[in-house]
Structure 1
Amino acid sequence: MLRSFRKVSLMKQILYLIVLMLIILLISFMVSNLIARNIIEKKVADSSKKIMLQIEETMVSFFSDMDGISYSLLYSPTIQSYLSSTNVLSRILMDKEIVSEFSSTLSLKKNMKGIQLYDSEGTMITSIGRAVEPSTKKRVSSIEYTVLHPNQLNATYYTIAVPVYNLQNNYVLRDYRGMCVFIMDVANLNSILSKSKISNHSELLLVDQNNNIIAGTDGAINTEEMDKLKKWSEDPRYIVQNITLSYNGWKIISVIPKKELLQDLDIIERLNVATYLIIFSIFCLFLLIFYSRILKPVKALLDFIKSYAKSGGPRRFNVVYYNEIGVLANNLNQMLDNIDQLSRNVQIVQKQMYETEIIKKQMEISAYRNQINPHFLYNTLESIRAIALYHKVGEIADITASLSNMFRYSVKGTHLVTIRDEIIHLKEYAKIIEFRFGGKIQIVIQTDESLLAVQTLKMLLQPIVENAVFHGLEKKIDPGTVLVRIESTTVKKCKITIQDDGCGMEEQQLRNLSKSLQQFMTPGNTVNDEKLGIGLSNIYRRIKLFYEDEAKLTIDSILNKGTTVSITFPIYRQTEEGGS
């Protein structure tokens, strides 16, 4: 599939990708809208549940207050005496006190509209406030809540029936004395429900155990709303929740129309559609610009390249657009110019490379010409050392051993050694120099111990020290010293300084020497200057070939003061080469 897609033209690939992006974008809009709907419905359902719990808490608190009021009233000495008396005259005389207590109780709650008192036989003996039909149930054993049906004052009221017992008797005997009925207005319940509406068209209803509506957010309750309640519970367009009051078994029912909740989401959907159309238009504009400003110039550039590959010549691409394609075309023209220039220079470069190869072969031939059978030389030197030891001439034995070690080191195959090896080799040379000049010339070595394991080119120190001895100190009458100092710099490079206090050289001679060293690296150029010495010229070329521009060799000299040669090269390059 991917391989066949690669064979399709670039324009079709872009078109396919845009269609794919539009499909993905459409799906993402639909999925995000569905997720948003579900999240909103869940959030609203959770909020509605919390509100109903708060309403339940408020109503339970209200009913709890009513319990306290009823107990305070019904178990007062006056009421207890009134219900205990069987004498009609006594009750008539106490009516004024009973009415007074009932009036005081009615003033405690605004929605308490009346009180009816029944004796143990179920006969209503006194009442106050709102006149309603006597309760059909004449005896209750516990507190009961009853809704007055629509034909009874349009369900505006409900009753709380509380049993009354004799406080003087044992609790187990429960001497029943009568019943008190409180007539309650539902206005306060309507107010509680109205204040808790989530949206304008949502409904909060309070129903009893028989699903009769007691109160609602709209106040007046009718039969039509009771019919709607059944439909709402079965209609998926509404979110219907309910919670049961533990106090009396009534239910709080929340009805929320989903359409009203998702009105804001509909606006977002319309914005999504508008955004989708705008993106589609932008993609169409992109295709147009892509074809006219990119694809068409690229095709023209490809046609030019194909034709140029066959014909060649000085012809160049005509640049029309000055965007990235124009830059590419300019670079192509510049590249063709460079190719023409390079084709003219290739013979010169090949000639220089050929000369360099000839120099390399000449150096190899010179090295082969100077080779001596090492085993023959080792055996000869060992024989000389043995004769010296036999005749007890220790100095000849020592100098012969040093010479043997130097030769063995110089012909060793590897071209990379450690600085420790170079110092050991230099010390063998120092023994020979000390013996030859009778201690007149001393070689002092100062080394940073942390650099001993660093690898470097072989035969780097001894040739330069040899130049210092023979060109600087040998002609000097007074004793001389060659100081070899090896240290690290702040830029992670190794610096070798070889300083003598010999004859030095004039400023013009120093400039000629430095210039000769620079020319020594020019391809096709050879230097044959005895003042350079084979050691110094060879070392300069070797460090430049190996380290390139990261290595540096400098020469400082003052006439009759001495000469200083400094070599700097990177440590990391040595470590990498040495480890390879």
Structure 2
Amino acid sequence: MKFYHRLSLSHQIHLLFAIAVVMTLGISVGFYYVTFESLRAREEQYMYDMMAQVAQKTEDFTASADYLAEAVADASSAVHLLRETNKTKKWRYRQSLNRLFSDIARSNSSVTNIVLLDTTGKVYGFNGLDYSLVNRLDSLYSLFSPDNCADGFMAPLYASDKDIPYYANIRTVYDTGTYENRKLGFCIIIGTCDPLYEACRNTSSMGSSLFMILNDKGEVIVRSQDADAAAERDIVHSLLSRGEALFSAEIDGKKYLLSQYAPLPSTDWLIASAVPYREFDSGLREFRNLALLSVLFLLGIYLLLGHMTVSSITVPLNRIIHFIKRGPDYTLRNHVEIEERNELGYLADQINLMLDQISELTDTALRNQTRMYAIELAHHQARLSALQSQINPHFLYNTLDAIQGLTYLGRIEDIRTAVSSLSAIMRYSIKGEAMVRVSSELLCIRKYLQIIDIRFVNRFTFHISIPDRVMDYEMPRFLLQPLVENAIFHGLEPKTGKGTLSLSSELRGNSVIHFRCADDGIGIAPEELERLRGRLLDAPESPDPSLAEKYDGIGLTNIHLRLRLLYGSPYGLSIESAPGQGTVICLDFPATVPEQV
């Protein structure tokens, strides 16, 4: 009870409603289960009774075939025919047997052929013999081989052009007129299994139920309907591997009720059936529909009562709670709407009044804060402009110095190319927005390297590796050129022999762009590197031209300050170097996509 009282009003009502629904469903399911099991037991007994009917019809069929076989095997004319060597007498006995067989065959319409076979393999046929059928069955099953003849039934036998199976009932013919009682030959009665098929088909009253007659080898003689070969094979295997008369088995994802009837007295045949459990369920459809309607009726009453309670209490209460949970960004600009004019409506009016007062106070605070932010933003923009203005004169000085060297050498064409590249770089650095695409910055770098390559012929090797996925991101204008300039003039130019500079980039975590500028120049002395790192770590808020470094100008500190002003302290510039092993400078700043105009 303590747990119940600790719940909110809404949860208490919903808990009571859930308990009532669960109890109703439990009672309905229990009643349905008991009734279902009772009806299923009756269906199982009904199915077993049908199995007994099939067994009885099959036993009548085999008994009739046995009677014919025994009548022929015991007929004196048959004994004389197989024992006699005189052709004339054989012909007389054969005619006598023709009349006898005609009379006997009338009692069993399934018989198609009656054949006598002596011990040497000679075949004697009689009136109505279907030579074509007999020859096909003999070629497939060697019926007329004395070595294969054994008393009993053979089935199923299939002709090559027919689907209906045949059976063969074999009886040994003995010489009963002598004391030797020697074997004279065999009587073979061949007949169609149509009566067995009709017995299975007429007994099957369910749409997907399968009744079968199997021989002692597990082969299907007849079945009530066609079935999937794999499923039928699994059904037969389950029946033969278990000796139970009635059991359940899951085959190919479906649950079946399997049953088998003991082998018939005159044969080793087995009566079997397989009925999907969904067939039993179909008989309960009306009961299931009635139970479902009852449950829906009770649930409807519960829903109506629950709706009346919830709509008057919990819905307004939940609306107030959800309104408050949406946070101040929403609540300060909106009012909670409650239609009920009870205690909850009064509570909603007081909340709206309180929110109006808070919103008025918040607006005043925001206006004051906005003015302060505008002043600070203008201050930062002025510092950023001052930093960028320091770059262009410094770069121009170094580039003009390189062009001056070309004039001493008299390389007029190279001067023209260098001046054209310098003009493009100056236009890029002065005109346009403060933020550019990486691809534009890379084009500026290539122009600059073109000037350097003219000035220092075959001195340096440049490697630029920028992934395509980075090209469309945004970065500050004229950010990379000072890195390249610093590497050439302070790292590679003082080096004896050729030097290599590589510029690469990667996108880390889809949120940070990382640039890496590495050279194999003279490197930086440890004490100088420590001093430079200290300058970057303790960089002043406002750049001072008097603090320019002796060996790298103002470029590196300038770049670091620009990144800090634009993106904050997590981003900026880092340096790794050692004397004689080159220098690596890395930049990190957020990956942003330019706004579409």
Place the TM-score, normalised by the shorter chain, in its bin: 0.3 to 0.5
TM-score, length basis structure 1: 0.43
TM-score, length basis structure 2: 0.42
